[in-house]
Structure 1
């Protein structure tokens, strides 16, 4: 394989991993990991029906932990996506499936798509802008038992943040 193709595959794999880490950080309400995924001047846009916008990775980290604290449980699963790399910039699209239940007992189910702009800084891909588009939303009755996401060992968490 030629070097250019190898680099393209490595970049695409790193970007897919970044999207997976985003879901993992949200599922575990891990503000530090969430913050590590963004460029300093990153922008997170959540479209209809929520219509919220966040700028700067420190503020986004606090906001996501607060928002996720409103749920008894929240699970986001990253699905298929498309990645286009252009040097140290990239564009991607990932579909996500979200299941949650609020403290009030109301369920929330979303099928959505993230539209991403990414930048490579110090050999690491980061989100520059992440825009969330809801495709389908429902409010099912989730009456099941919530056990929560188990803690992961600190060493594994740190390795995940540094990849």
Structure 2
């Protein structure tokens, strides 16, 4: 089974995924950053210099700097699986993005995140997101 845990928890995790994408689409570090735990880790092996970033402040700072290179970004995400075990969860999610560089070059990456989440003070947050490219740049 691809999904386990209570409907309420699965919905909260799906909403976290939606908030993450909304933060990207709104270009809001506050919205996007609200999805991360303080001791989190973001792994983007396809992006030089962003292979492993640790700590929420460092993650948000790296994301903010990266977003400066893209006058337009649009992201859609969906959950492929969610497995909840008490106050921890794993999720496989898929992302499709359109990003435009300052010179007008359009990128259309599609990829997979392998996610680890934790319920902290009643709120689900990402503690680790590890990306792999499936297609595109």
How many angstroms does 1:36 deviate by? Answer: 1.4
Q: Secondary structure at the match of 1:71?
A: coil
In the alignment, which residue of structure 1 is the partner of 2:13? 15
In the alignment, which residue of structure 2 is the partner of 1:93? 92
How many angstroms does 1:79 deviate by? Answer: 2.4
Q: Trace 1:65-104 onto structure 2 (pairs within 5 A).
A: 65-104=64-103
Does the CA contact (< 8 Å) of 1:119 and 1:127 recur in 2?
yes
Q: Which has the larger share of helix?
A: 1
- Give the ranges of 4+ consecutive aligned residues of structure 1 lying more than 4 Å apart after TM superposition: none
Does the CA contact (< 8 Å) of 1:79 and 1:97 recur in 2?
no
> Gaps (5+ residues) in structure 1?
139-163
How many angstroms does 1:80 deviate by? Answer: 3.9
Distance across 1 between alignment mates of 2:27 and 2:65? 9
Tell me: higher relative CO, structure 1 or 2? Use CA pairs within 8 A at least 6 residues apart: 2
Distance across 1 between alignment mates of 2:44 and 2:25? 17
Provide the TM-score with structure 1 as the length reference: 0.76
In the alignment, which residue of structure 2 is the partner of 1:25? 23
Q: Secondary structure at the match of 1:47?
A: coil
> Gaps (5+ residues) in structure 2?
none
How many angstroms does 1:62 deviate by? Answer: 1.7
Larger Rg: 1
The answer on 1:120 being equivalent to 2:119 is yes
